[in-house]
């Protein structure tokens, strides 16, 4: 039976991704929805992108673009501001591309350019890297960058969870637009949680793989989830983004 499987932020952790695919027993009949931030962190960003491109040729995959992916795309195009990106994982990504040919880099650039800002499935579930702010939904968002940078959606639902009834005039209209919303971007480690978190109808699947957390995958129908080992165990000689705080994304 086919499943809809949602994968959180990878941040260059190919070993975690491969481990996760094995633990979840992913098959070619499964739909894979990746929530973005494939690069910047551990040492295999280019290799993660290569893995994803190959997976997309074998089965139905949806690739959402994260804020770190935007920076990598700009770098591949020769337009990135290194003074900012270098401090946020960019150097590890550049190093991972040292043995990648110019031809393959162009293929990777085209892959980044094809990524979606968000995806809505047939069950009216929204998948987006960070969030959205438009009262009437993602189609009305004024600035595309909101989809991969916003934190207000998650901050709002965490605060209001179990405090505001669905029929209350205080209930945010944008939450009623979608059956469920799946996001990454803000590590659950911020809330002392190492597993996917739910608040109202929003699921946060970023369990801190860039730092000392694990990479997570959740079945959007059953809510079963799988996790890799913590990334520092898979990359014992590296630091990932652990020099940064969880809030500096």
Q: Which tops the pLDDT comparison, 240 or 1?
A: 240
Reported as a pLDDT band with limits 50, 70 and 90, residue 170 is confident
Residues in contact with 77: Cβ distance below 8 Å, sequence separation at least 6, in sequence order: 109
CB contact at 8 A, 164 and 143: no
Neighbour-count burial of 53, counting CB atoms closer than 10 A to its CB (0-12 exposed, 13-18 middle, 19+ buried): middle
**Angle separating helix axes 45-58 and 14-23, nearest 10 degrees:** 40
| Mean of pLDDT values over 58-66 | 98
Residues in contact with 210: Cβ distance below 8 Å, sequence separation at least 6, in sequence order: 9, 11, 37, 40, 41, 42, 89, 187, 231, 240, 241
Q: What is the DSSP string of 177-205?
A: TSSEEEE-SS-GGGGT--S-EEETTEEE-
Is residue 248 over pLDDT 60?
A: no
| Mean of pLDDT values over 129-154 | 97
List b or e across 81-94, with b for residues whose CB sees 16 or more CB atoms inside 10 angstroms. Answer: eeeebeebbbebbb
At 73 the three-state DSSP class reads helix
Is residue 171 over pLDDT 50?
A: yes
Q: What is the pLDDT of residue 235?
A: 98
The rounded mean pLDDT for the chain is 95
Q: pLDDT for 189-216, tens place per residue?
A: 999 999 999 999 999 999 999 999 999 9
| Mean of pLDDT values over 101-108 | 98
Helices (H), the chain: 14-23, 45-58, 67-76, 82-85, 90-96, 102-114, 146-149, 152-160, 173-176, 231-234
Q: What is the pLDDT of residue 19?
A: 98
pTM of the predicted model as reported, rounded to 2 decimal places: 0.95
Instruction: Give the chain's domains with CATH numbers.
Output: 4-234 (3.60.21.10)
CB contact at 8 A, 53 and 107: yes
């Amino acid at each position: 039976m086919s499943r809809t499987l949602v994968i959180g932020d990878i941040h260059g952790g190919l070993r975690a991704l491969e481990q996760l695919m094995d633990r979840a027993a992913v098959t070619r009949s499964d739909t894979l929805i990746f929530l973005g931030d494939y690069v910047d962190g551990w040492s295999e960003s280019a290799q993660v992108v290569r893995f994803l491109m190959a997976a997309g040729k074998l089965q139905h995959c949806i690739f959402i673009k994260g804020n770190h992916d935007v920076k990598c795309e700009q770098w591949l195009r020769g337009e990135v501001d290194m003074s900012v990106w270098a401090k946020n994982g960019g150097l590890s990504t550049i190093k991972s591309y040292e043995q990648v040919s110019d031809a393959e880099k162009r293929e990777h650039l085209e892959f980044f350019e094809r990524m979606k800002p968000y995806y809505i499935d047939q069950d009216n579930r929204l998948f987006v890297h960070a969030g959205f702010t438009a009262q009437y939904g993602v189609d009305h968002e004024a600035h595309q960058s909101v989809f991969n940078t916003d934190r207000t959606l998650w901050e709002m639902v965490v605060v209001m969870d179990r405090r505001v009834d669905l029929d209350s005039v205080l209930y945010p209209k944008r939450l009623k637009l979608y059956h469920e919303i799946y996001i990454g971007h803000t590590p659950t480690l911020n809330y002392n949680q190492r597993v996917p978190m739910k608040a109202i109808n929003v699921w946060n699947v970023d369990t801190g793989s860039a730092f000392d957390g694990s990479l997570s995958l959740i079945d959007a129908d059953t809510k079963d989830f799988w996790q890799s080992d913590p990334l520092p165990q898979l990359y014992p000689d590296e630091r990932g983004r652990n020099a940064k705080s969880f809030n500096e994304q």
